[in-house]
Structure formats: C-alpha cells, structure tokens
A and B are shown apart, each in its own frame.
Chain A
Amino acid sequence: MTIRRATKSDIDTLADMFSRMYILNSEFDPLLQVPEDIRQRVRASVEKAISDENSLIYIYEEEEKPYAAIKIKFDEREFYTPSKVARIEEFYVHPAKRRGGLGGTFLNFVEEDLKKMGVTLIIARFPSKNLIAVSFYSKHGFREIHNEFAKSID
C-alpha cells in the first residue's frame, strides 16, 4: 500500500473517480443533479488543483493500482479561529475496496500530513442524505458544525 501526492499523470484516474462521486451525490437530492459534461468539468478542476498551492490531492495505491483519492482545498475562515482549514472536497474509494478499513487508513494519513503542515482543523462536505458518509466521518471523530439548507426558487 502506498499513499502519495497526485501528479499530472493521475489526472484521468482522478477525473474518473471524482466524477463517479458527483454522479453518486446526484442520487441523494434533485438539487445535486450533475451536468452531462461532469467528467470534463471534474477533469479541468483536477488539472487546476494539481498545480494550485491551495489544493492537495492524495492517491491511495495497492500494487501501483489506484484505489482511492482525496482532494483537499485550503480555506481561510474570516470570523472563526483557527482561520486556516483543510476542506475535503472530494473523497472516493473504489467499490471493491470499501468496508475494509481503507478509508480510515487513508484519512488518518492525510490528517497526519496536514498536521505536519500546521493545519489544525479539517472539514468534510458531503450530501446530508449520504448516511454512509455520516457514519464514516462520525466514526473518525468528525461532528456536525454547520447545516446547509437549500431551496429551489426556480
């Protein structure tokens, strides 16, 4: 098992993984529908993030085959302390590798790496109806601090 930072050669793999995550999110709420060109959009976003100092992408591999990826974005909170936070924007684990502890191992590694960079707060964002994610993050010490309510005024 290896966990490493993503490079440009990983862009297509990451685009596949993260677009699958957004497509799955669309199952949870009609307000999370994805556009038809989701993969291209995700690819462009990943390409940008790889060379962006405010983002970090990690890849989990076994025998050189990628099975999971996490994308982090650093944010500044203007009115709260600590102000610097790492936000998990995308987190995908290959179906064949779920429920075996990979996600927890991967998350722990990322947390340790962020600590070394002086980051003290990590935030995850995911659809509120994704109960598996709720359970996963709760199990790993996260708690709910914000609610995001949405209403279509179309």
Chain B
Amino acid sequence: MDPIEFSRTYEGKIQVLPKVPIKSYDDFAVIYTPGIAKVAEAIHQNRDLSFSLTSRWNTIAIITNGSRVLGLGNVGPEAAMPVMEGKALLFKYLGGVDAIPLPIRAGSVDDFERFAKAIEPALGGINLEDTESPLCFEVLEKLRNVLEIPVWHDDQLGTASAILAGLINAFKIVGKDIGSAKVVLFGAGAANIAAANMLSIYGFDKSKMVMIDSKGPLYAERNDVDKLMFSNRWKYDLAVSTNKEDSRTIEDAFKGADALVAASTPGPDTVKREWISMMAERSIVFALANPVPEIMPDEAIKGGAYIVATGRSDFPNQVNNSLVFPGVFRGVLDSRAKYISYTMAIAASKALANYAERRGISREYIIPRMDEWDMFYEVAAAVADRAREEGYARNPLKYEDYLELARKRIIEAKRNIEMVTRK
C-alpha cells in the first residue's frame, strides 16, 4: 500500500486508550474527582509514588526537532511526526512501552533542556531522536546530567549497542582478540562516534581505531582539528585519541584492519572492494547505511570479507538499533532507573550477543533477528539488572524477576494491540 494512502486511512498510527474498566457512573468518582485528590495528595508527599500510582512508570517521550530525519535531513518537526509515530508504535509493539511522539520547535541545547525539564514529571524516560550532530551530543550530555530519568539517543547509543553486539560475536567467529584489533570507523556521525566510545569502554583499543570522514582519516595534526575542538568536541576527542599509527590516506587506514564499521552515506560504492581487499585475513565488514549499504555484501565477500553485516533485513546479519531500544527502555522502565550509562548499553549488547551465541552463531548469524521476540526480554532484564548493580534502579529486583516482568509486559502489549486493531 502507498504510505501516504496508508497514513490517510488510519489518520496516524497511535492513539491514547484508557486501561481502566468503566462499569458504572460511580467509577468516575474514583478515576477522577473527587477520589483522585487522595492520589494527588499521596504523590505530593512522596513524588516517587508518581511511578506506581500513575502511568508514568511506562511512559516516555520521543523528542526531536526534526533536523536530521532518516536520510531526509532537516525537514522540521511537523514532517518528523509520522516517523516519530512509527517509532512510538515500535516501542509499544516490541517493548510494551507507551511512547509519546513529541517533535518540537527547538534550535539549541537550552531549548531542549527547558522543554525536557518541564515535561520530566510526567515521564519515566526520554528517547531523543533524529536530531542533527553535534547538537544531539550536546543535548544528550546536558539532559543526562540535569534529569532524573533516563535519556537515550537512539541514533547514537542504539546503533552503537547493536554494532558492539555484532562485533562481539563476529570476533568470536574469526577467533581474533578484541583488545589488539584494528577497527576502521567509516563515517564520523552520531552512530560511529558513539560506537567508538562504546567499543573502547568494552575493551577495544581506541588508539588502534581509525575514523574516516569526508576528508579522509582523522588524525591529531589534521588542519581542521583545531576547529573541531570548538565545533564538535566529541569528534575532536577521537581525532586526538585514535589513529596512533597515523594513517593519512583511506588505503593506509584499511591496510591490515580486522574490522570495518561503516555508518556513512548510502552505497553501493561508498566503500570500494579494493579497500576491503587490503584488510587483514578473515575481516569483518559492517556496511550499515540504508537503504543501500556502503558496499553490497557480495562485493565485500569478493573483496575478501569473511563476515558481512548490513542495516537491512533482507541480508543476513541485520545490525539495527531496533534490536536494542525496545529492550533497553523496557529494562530502564521496569527498574525505574534514573539514568542510562554506557555500561548499561553494553549490557544490552552482551545480552544480544549471548542470545545469538546460544542459538549457534555463524558467518550469517552473528546477531539475533528482529522476529526473535524473546530476545527483547533478555535485553530488558540485562539492562535493568545492570541499573540495579550501578545503583540507578528505584525498583531493585532480581534478574529473573525483571525477565518475567519484561516478558509479561511485552506479551500483554502485543495482545492489546491485536485486540484494538482487530477489524
């Protein structure tokens, strides 16, 4: 069906429905005034009760200013709405999370901060989405510091977690040591910058990474690095901490590399086959641009790649943030976490990798598929458990309890959606 016709037919993709049965007129006195005043009073005495006496425990906002929507660029908040509605649907269907799409008119960190602080009392978390770089880094950093609910930027952390999950298993298959691996990060946008940091926290050696942007490899002495210190300090940090072998050309960067993580512009020839052929034996190639990978899998294999992953579901090994965000939010909401740390995101990556490993990893199966629904329960429980370990959980439970909670809530959400949307 034509997507515009589809949207016109349904007039949007989500709605708000009550979950409380209304059996008689008298019920309104409990649901609303006068009875509800007692609930308001209780929360006034203890604000944390807002998580258990209202829907706050399961409600998040999807916030964007529409400045970098999909591959469309800066289309503005109104045009971002259908995308955010779609994401809200995925949140509910895959993670059982009530997500409110909120595209806003915001141009600065202060705009985002004011808005997020203002709506924090109604929320259990915030998912920042489709906002241009480096503003997205500044906003994420600010909101993580000033709010007492978890804030996540899916384009950074979601994609980075999926990349790490894929690499954990890919390195197991090729039998190489992560700590001494050379990794090329092709593209210096939000996803790869977050990936570089997350891989480094996990155990990859940052000095052996080489990040490549439209001007070639990033290195400390490159002419534009002085400016980056002011305009994009996240990229600047990588310029001075990666590439210790001082690669100055793309060819130098690829030479002997064990893994390539491309998250840049769509292919098919963004990454050339001859570059792949310069990589080490049994190389790992992640070409994640959508809709067309930077290099098509068959080309990468011809170039000598041993394992290839893309962002697409019609090829093996789909490395996609959709594997991560539903479980991550289920986990932070079930633990009522105050924060999402990098190590909690890494717990999600490990859970994904373990899930696939248990099922039997191979060159064509390094990461779970989207339709392996029970993987989301395990991601949720791993994230919640880590939140508890790190002291961020307002609701500390055992791993098994988190797992059961996630399973119950996701299954219930799916059942509810099926009931409501049944024709």
Question: Real complex partners, A and B?
Answer: yes
Interface residues of chain A, those whose CB is within 8 Å of chain B, are: 20-21, 23-24, 27, 94-96, 98, 130, 132
Structural contact, B240 and A20, CB atoms closer than 8 A: no
B109 close to chain A: CB less than 8 A:
no
Contact: B230 with A27, CB < 8 Å? yes
Main secondary structure of the interface of B (DSSP, over half): helix
Cα A21 to Cα B223 with chains together (Å)? 10
Note all chain B residues with C-beta closer than 8 A to A130.
Answer: 230
- B225 pairs with A95, CB closer than 8 A: yes
- Look across to chain B and name the residue whose beta carbon is closest to the beta carbon of A27: B227
- 18 extra interchain contacts, Cβ-Cβ under 8 A, other than A27-B227, A95-B225, A130-B230? A20-B223, A20-B226, A21-B226, A23-B223, A24-B226, A27-B230, A27-B231, A94-B220, A94-B221, A95-B220, A95-B221, A95-B226, A95-B229, A95-B239, A95-B240, A96-B220, A98-B229, A132-B229
Considering only residues 331-383 of chain B, those with a C-beta below 8 Å from chain A are none
**What are the 9 tightest A-B residue pairs by CB atom distance, in nearest-first order?**
A96-B220, A24-B226, A95-B225, A95-B220, A96-B240, A95-B240, A27-B227, A20-B226, A24-B227
Cβ–Cβ contact B225 & A132, under 8 A: no
**Count of chain B residues with a beta carbon within 8 Å of a chain A beta carbon:** 12
Q: Could you tell me the distance between the alpha carbons of A127 and B128 in the complex, rounded to whole angstroms?
A: 34
Chain B residues positioned under 8 Å from A132 (CB to CB): 229-230
Residues of chain B within 8 A of A95, CB atoms compared:
220-221, 225-226, 229, 236, 239-240
B226 adjacent to A23 (CB under 8 Å) = yes
Which of chain B's residues have a CB closer than 8 A to the CB of A96?
Answer: 220-221, 240
CB-nearest residue of chain A to B231:
A27
Provide the bound-state CA to CA distance between A23 and B223, in Å.
Answer: 9
The answer for the CA separation of A20 and B239 in the assembled complex, in Å, is 16
Residues in A with CB closer than 8 Å to B240 are: 95-96, 98
State the Cβ distance, A137 to closest chain B Cβ, in Å. 16
| Contact residues of B between 195 and 243, Cβ < 8 Å to A | 220-221, 223, 225-227, 229-231, 236, 239-240
Cα–Cα, bound, A23→B230 (Å): 13
- Write out the residue numbers on chain A whose beta carbons fall within 8 Å of the beta carbon of B231: 27
Write 5 A-B pairs (CB below 8 A) sorted by A numbering.
A23-B223, A27-B231, A94-B221, A95-B220, A95-B229
Residues of B near A94 (CB, < 8 A) are 220-221
Nearest chain A residue, comparing its CB with the CB of B228? A95
